């Protein structure tokens, strides 16, 4: 039976404490024990179903984690205070000094900076490749490689990672395949396609309100338990815990995600097709002109569309800046970083969310200085939005 992430998410919903339709928010930092012996058993990992301290587990965070794991088809999940915490905790749990990583060069700027600039402090190195070129991925693997890291839809170039083929390469070389699915929740199910670990910035589409930062790691029970081991777990010892009140809010927002992703995708496809007819250079995996359109179709859960992210190329950063200013002035959306909001957000990737990537690398990877990245909102009248964008474009 084909995996249905929305159905799995729905089935994860449970009646809350005191039979509330929502889970109660548990804002305790610490929890009581009936005896010193039971506390010792908890520290020793022998007492199941008990809560010790909210840096380890909290009932509210646990409820969110269970739903995220259900949505991803993994055995377990762990929620954290940001998407970067999810990425860094995962990599530091999997790697030690002397290890090596192969990563997509087209990735979120913060991820690139962590891999390129921060990890070498611990003698962990990274080779960056064009993730679409599977031959280059395999050639970059060394005897000390531990991870293949990619994004399901890469930021900001919207390349489609061939997760099943990447898994074949990872399995052949006994590597862990880590996939960031922030751009395409529900649309792609990386674990089902072959990923070992799936990471998220929950800040974006999953929460959908841009009112908090949060992240998640989804994987098998052994990996998640190792992450939060009291003595050696990266997440336990580095302490990037998510506040329980925020966890409760995200959990409630999560159940509207299928409806939201469907509308984001509908609007993005509409704009992408209109932009293409205008003669603009458009990047969107839902267009037949996208080089990996068929690959995307072969992997996606089709009922949720091709996603809410698209990009257009206006050649220069000055032109992109003027265009974005006009769009904000005319009510298209907001000139702001981030994505997944109910309003359309747009930014010039090379000078914002990918600015950590050196300009010469940006050019090599095909990132134009005039690339405008859109996170298309939930506009009810998307045709009217397009007309306004078209007007702004005519004023350049």
Smallest Cα–Cα separation from 306: which of 329, 323, 318, 289?
A: 289
pLDDT band at 33 (very low <50, low <70, confident <90, very high): confident
Give the mean pLDDT of the chain.
94
Mean predicted confidence (pLDDT) in 327-347: 96
**The pLDDT of residue 2:** 84
pLDDT band at 17 (very low <50, low <70, confident <90, very high): low
CATH number 3.30.70.20 is the correct assignment for the domain at 257-394? no
Give per-residue pLDDT as tens, 265-278: 999 999 999 999 99
Mean predicted confidence (pLDDT) in 118-124: 98
Work out whether strand 145-151 and strand 76-80 pair parallel, antiparallel, or are unpaired: unpaired
Residue 108 in this model has a pLDDT that exceeds 90: yes
Mean predicted confidence (pLDDT) in 355-364: 83
Work out the number of other CB atoms within 10 angstroms of the CB of residue 67: 24
pLDDT band at 163 (very low <50, low <70, confident <90, very high): very high
Alpha carbons 373 and 313: distance in angstroms, whole number? 9
Work out whether strand 197-201 and strand 176-180 pair parallel, antiparallel, or are unpaired: parallel
Beta bridge mates, 218:
77, 198
pLDDT band at 356 (very low <50, low <70, confident <90, very high): confident
**The pLDDT of residue 1:** 60
Smallest Cα–Cα separation from 85: which of 168, 199, 5, 198?
A: 199
Alpha carbons 385 and 327: distance in angstroms, whole number? 10
Q: Which of 48-62, 93-107, 140-154, 232-246 has the lowest mean pLDDT?
A: 48-62
Alpha carbons 367 and 354: distance in angstroms, whole number? 9
Question: So where are the chain's domains?
Answer: 5-254, 257-394
pLDDT band at 18 (very low <50, low <70, confident <90, very high): low
Domain 5-254 classification at class level: alpha beta
Q: Is the pTM of this model over 0.85?
A: yes
pLDDT band at 234 (very low <50, low <70, confident <90, very high): very high
Report yes or no: 235 and 80 within 8 Å, Cβ to Cβ.
yes
**The pLDDT of residue 22:** 74
Residue 76 in this model has a pLDDT that exceeds 80: yes
């Amino acid at each position: 039976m084909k995996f249905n992430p929305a159905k799995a998410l729905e089935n994860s919903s449970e009646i809350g404490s005191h039979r509330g339709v929502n889970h109660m928010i548990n804002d305790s930092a610490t929890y009581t024990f009936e005896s010193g012996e039971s506390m010792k058993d908890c520290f020793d990992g022998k007492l199941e179903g008990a809560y010790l301290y909210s840096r380890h587990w909290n009932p509210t965070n646990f409820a969110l984690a269970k739903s995220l794991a259900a949505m991803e088809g993994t055995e377990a999940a762990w929620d954290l205070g940001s998407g970067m915490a999810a990425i860094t905790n995962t990599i530091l749990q999997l790697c030690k000094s002397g290890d090596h990583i192969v990563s997509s060069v087209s990735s979120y700027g913060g991820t690139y900076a962590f891999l390129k600039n921060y990890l070498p402090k611990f003698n962990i190195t990274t080779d960056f490749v064009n993730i679409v070129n599977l031959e280059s991925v395999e050639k970059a693997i060394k005897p000390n490689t531990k991870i293949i890291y990619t994004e399901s839809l890469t930021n900001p170039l919207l390349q489609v990672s061939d997760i099943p083929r990447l898994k074949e390469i990872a399995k052949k070389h006994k590597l862990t395949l880590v996939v960031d699915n922030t751009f395409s929740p529900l649309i792609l199910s990386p674990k089902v396609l072959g990923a070992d670990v799936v990471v998220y910035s929950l800040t974006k589409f999953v929460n959908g309100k841009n009112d908090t930062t949060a992240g998640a790691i989804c994987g098998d029970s052994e990996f998640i338990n190792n992450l939060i081991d009291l003595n050696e777990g990266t997440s336990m010892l580095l302490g990037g815990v998510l506040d329980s009140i925020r966890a409760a809010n995200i959990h409630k927002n999560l159940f509207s995600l299928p409806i939201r992703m469907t509308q984001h995708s509908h609007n993005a496809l509409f704009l992408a097709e209109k932009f293409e007819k205008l003669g603009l250079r458009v990047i969107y995996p839902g267009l037949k002109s996208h080089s990996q359109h068929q690959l995307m179709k072969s992997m996606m859960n089709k009922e949720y569309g091709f996603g809410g992210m698209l990009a257009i190329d206006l050649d220069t950063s000055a032109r992109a800046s003027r265009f974005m200013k006009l769009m904000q002035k005319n009510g298209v959306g907001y000139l702001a970083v981030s994505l997944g909001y109910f309003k359309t957000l747009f930014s010039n990737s090379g000078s914002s969310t990918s600015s950590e990537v050196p300009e010469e690398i940006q050019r090599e990877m095909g990132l134009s200085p005039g690339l405008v990245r859109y996170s298309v909102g939930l506009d009810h009248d998307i045709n009217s939005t397009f007309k306004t964008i078209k007007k702004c474009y005519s004023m350049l």
